[in-house]
Structure 1
């Protein structure tokens, strides 16, 4: 009750003050009619406080997000459902859901009177331009009586998470196999080995199906031998994301790093839909697998929160990939590289691997002086040439380029001697100045 009295509005306090003054005057003057008016003026705000104070502890609230994972720039719908679980009706309810700045201003909604055991729902939409994970809530509820004499505020502790993932672009289906791809399919493939079942026969183990016993080998060896399972072929791909802060330029949603994250998400979703078993690696130590159980969600949730790293370097990225190197397809989304760093990455290109680099000239995200830009372009061309000479397919990316228009170039094999010659000529001319 004390809290309800503290919630009296200016109108309610005015009624209470006027009633008190009228009551004193009625006592002094002996006016019974004035006393009746005074009692009414004092009773109204007290009854309003009692009414609102009892109703505020009998409300239940639930919140749902549809969807709970959205792309940057898309909208999500937030549905609030309030139920009056008491026997007393409420007054008008003023709702305010707390939102982070990235999701826009706080919505303020009005919910009319709720009767006993009655429920009602209100909805609003949010839109985020920046990827991340955001708390929606808690909900603040202001309740008033029909006369506006008392107003109380209640906050529900529950919050919900809205995940804003990078923008995912639809990509054209292209042939990504190199000269070492498996037969019968156009994609780079590697063998998926199940346990140790990678030969013709092995010793019998307890629990093996007796129908797998290979009697000829058993007779020859003198021990019970069983047939090994055949090795299924499956498409495998590894997506590398360069998170080094020194390799990227710009800030906010137009920064080069945001382009790289969006490109990584688009490529990952595209390859998953094409049937690849996907792995994502970053130089900051992340190593994620997209399985049938997790689907794209695990990768996209990670990309929603990934940030640039001050400690990352190319050598740690190469070591991370080599820990589970099993051939297949490697697609790297790279920022600026020195020629030495490019040679480190070039070592990932082996006989069983097809490597594609989206090599970003992140200096084009800045307005550099002509001389500085020319020097940066020469260094970028030298690093790209080092990747090309090792057998990588290099897609050079500049500010303003769109991934869907660049993606078909990933299928262009070795890209020809003309490209390498042109790159070498550019580097040579730059070095002779």
Structure 2
């Protein structure tokens, strides 16, 4: 437009009509392009699918886009861009020359993340341009989707966890599931009972209508505890010891959930997930979603978490059956307090993350001095106190060591149970 105005002025000064015509054309063309693009009434529909929408760190997800022209006019040149966080790989751009009326285009790209979290994918933006490339108009859809990147999960061996880790017996401590029904003994008929449940032999013996009670549904129960205090871990990002603790918690929770246990999740800040019936991976999905966004807390004490672990009012929860707690570095005082807080007859397992700190970073201020000798470190002292308090202790430096330590601990538990019997 500036060039056109300059050409018109020069045409009047020099008396050149041809230059005037060229100046008017150059001046008017951008205005006509702007008017044409602004009056464009494309009607586009967009659909997006993430496959899968939840995945572990380091894995890829495929994003499928479907862009449909629902108007009666063909579209012009389109540049399509899906808004993607930089952590997932940056921008996803496509250039579409033309979409015929009622036509559609299918696009796809892949995203991945090495950092767990919950990420927003979208919305999709479409840039419309005139044939001369002078004017560009941006339109944006409101549709967006969420990608959940969960912690890495270590596959644990399919051992006989129940008998070994509960200190004897053939099964875990059991509690009645919330959906459980009455026991099998007959009872008096109540209004509304199904007549097909009438127990005629008991009816004849008691002289009144009796119905069968159905068998209770029993379910193993347990509690997961995750220490999220910032002072208990060192390092940043994926190399931090906190990431190892989160991965260990996810691995244990998934393993026990698939085994049919009803679990709940507790941290040093209190209860995060209430106990749920293990049905078709419901708790596993909720656990992974919660751990995907888990962050370190500013708490310096485990008091609140231990109170939530024992239950409301500080009363013991014998029905917990199995308690597995994942800790960072514990001081001697904290280990003693945790050992003393072991309630009732529930079996308690402590997984201590004894990760080696980076060279440029020292251990937490309250960390005890590392013990000398093979296989010992910052967790040696707290581990002895927890064992003395009745806890079964597993020490790992990273989540990758969990499978071997898990199998070894279960084997030692079986030997202990046989010796006790």
> Displacement, 1:342?
3.0
Distance 1:325 1:207, change over 3 A: farther
Does 2:315 align with 1:328? no
| Mapping for residues 1-20 of structure 1, pairs under 5 Å | 13=1, 17-18=3-4
Q: 1:358 aligns with which of 338, 351, 355?
A: 351
Q: 2:255 aligns with which of 270, 274, 277?
A: 270
> 2:40 is paired with a residue of what secondary structure?
helix
- Inter-partner Cα distance in structure 2 for 1:327 and 1:106: 48
Distance 1:189 1:325, change over 3 A: closer
Deviates more, 1:85-94 or 1:215-224: 215-224
- Inter-partner Cα distance in structure 2 for 1:252 and 1:127: 16
Q: 2:39 aligns with which of 43, 51, 54?
A: 54
Aligned to 2:174: 190
Aligned to 2:314: none
> Displacement, 1:154?
2.2
Aligned to 1:125: 110
Deviates more, 1:300-309 or 1:354-363: 354-363
- Inter-partner Cα distance in structure 2 for 1:299 and 1:47: 58
> 1:231 is paired with a residue of what secondary structure?
coil
Aligned to 2:129: 144
Q: Note the alpha carbon deviations across 1:10-55, whole angstroms, 9 max, x for none.
A: xxx46xx438835983899584x66665565455434432332233
Q: Note the alpha carbon deviations across 1:204-261, whole angstroms, 9 max, x for none.
A: 4432345556678889989866554333443333222111222222111111111111
Does 2:236 align with 1:242? no
Aligned to 2:94: 109
CA RMSD of superposed structures (Å): 3.7
> Displacement, 1:300?
0.8
Asked if structure 2 preserves the Cα contact closer than 8 Å seen for 1:361 and 1:380, the reply is: yes
- Structure 2, unmatched stretches of 5+, are 312-316, 372-376, 417-421
- Inter-partner Cα distance in structure 2 for 1:181 and 1:388: 13
Deviates more, 1:191-200 or 1:142-151: 191-200
> 2:379 is paired with a residue of what secondary structure?
helix
Q: 1:208 aligns with which of 193, 215, 234?
A: 193
Distance 1:20 1:50, change over 3 A: farther
- Inter-partner Cα distance in structure 2 for 1:390 and 1:409: 21
| Mapping for residues 2-401 of structure 1, pairs under 5 Å | 13=1, 17-18=3-4, 21-22=7-8, 25=11, 29=15, 31=17, 40-55=25-40, 58-178=43-163, 187-192=171-176, 197=182, 200=185, 204-210=189-195, 212=197, 226-284=211-269, 285-288=271-274, 289=276, 291-292=278-279, 294-311=282-299, 313-323=301-311, 325-346=318-339, 347-348=341-342, 350-351=344-345, 353-362=346-355, 364=357, 368=362, 375-377=369-371, 380-398=379-397
Distance 1:251 1:118, change over 3 A: same
TM-score normalized with structure 1 length: 0.77
Alignment length (residue pairs): 398
> Displacement, 1:302?
0.7
Distance 1:167 1:400, change over 3 A: closer
- Inter-partner Cα distance in structure 1 for 2:368 and 2:324: 28
> 2:131 is paired with a residue of what secondary structure?
coil
- Inter-partner Cα distance in structure 1 for 2:285 and 2:305: 23
- Inter-partner Cα distance in structure 1 for 2:28 and 2:75: 19
Asked if structure 2 preserves the Cα contact closer than 8 Å seen for 1:59 and 1:85, the reply is: yes
> 1:236 is paired with a residue of what secondary structure?
strand
Distance 1:408 1:364, change over 3 A: farther
